Homo-oligomer: A and B are copies of this chain.
Amino acid sequence: MTGRLIGVGTGPGDPQLVTRRAWALIEGARVIAYPAPDTGTSFARSIVAEAIAGDAVEIPMIVPMRPGRAPAQSVYDDAATAIGGHLAAGRDVIVLCEGDPLFYGSFMYLLVRLRDSYPVEIVPGVNSLSACAAAQAHPLVARSDVLTVLPGTLDDEALAAAIGAADAVAIMKIGRHMPRLRALVDRLGLTGHALYTSHASLPHERALALSDAPDDAPYFSMILIYKGDDPWIS
């Protein structure tokens, strides 16, 4: 009897935005893995710290934080080996994932390494699209809208084409690309339709018009664009 690999979304940051199932699984977990930076604390772990039992076995996956580059695959090889040991011994392993496990997350690197050998369960979480729309109290998409989600790391030409084809746009992974992205949105005449959110649901959340956003945006920030002129758009 092997254990299950359970990818658990912790939501955007507020511990109250964790699902009931995720919270219960974490409270009962004997083995917990999570991504962690090379210095400092794990964001995913910090969200649910209160639910983790004192005697749980913890497996931090130390992922060097270099935005825009794929982390070293050896980190996931090593983590998969450690996690696989617990699974083979019949112990479930909870893998904490900020936001949702399958929306731009690193959980897929474990999934591909372990899914052929062990049962897998995914507990979806509130993803950053819904969290940022909530912070702005602004519809993300409505009726027959087309929504496109774009990494801010793409070049201007690719971004402009995608923005042009959609009714609503979410630009993620902003960070150091902020000045360029702001200029692009302005050139497209959409600044008046663009919102900026960082650290959604956390005490230091910022929910602003894009025109009021800082140039030094964090990685966990998002630009939402709604091109319609429907009456619910401010």
Residues of A within 8 A of B (CB): 9, 11-12, 14-21, 23-24, 70, 100-105, 108, 111-112, 115, 120-127, 129-131, 133-135, 137-151, 153-154, 158, 161-162, 165-166, 201, 231-232
Contact = CB atoms under 8 A, between A and B. Distances in A.
B141 A146 contact: no
Nearest to A153: B144
How many copies of this chain does one complex carry?
A: 2
A102 B130 contact: yes
Contacts of A141: 103-104, 149
Contact of A115 (B102, B124, B137): B137
Contacts of A140: 100, 102-103
A127 to B, nearest CB: 5
A17 B166 CA distance: 30
A1 B193 CA distance: 32
A16 B19 contact: yes
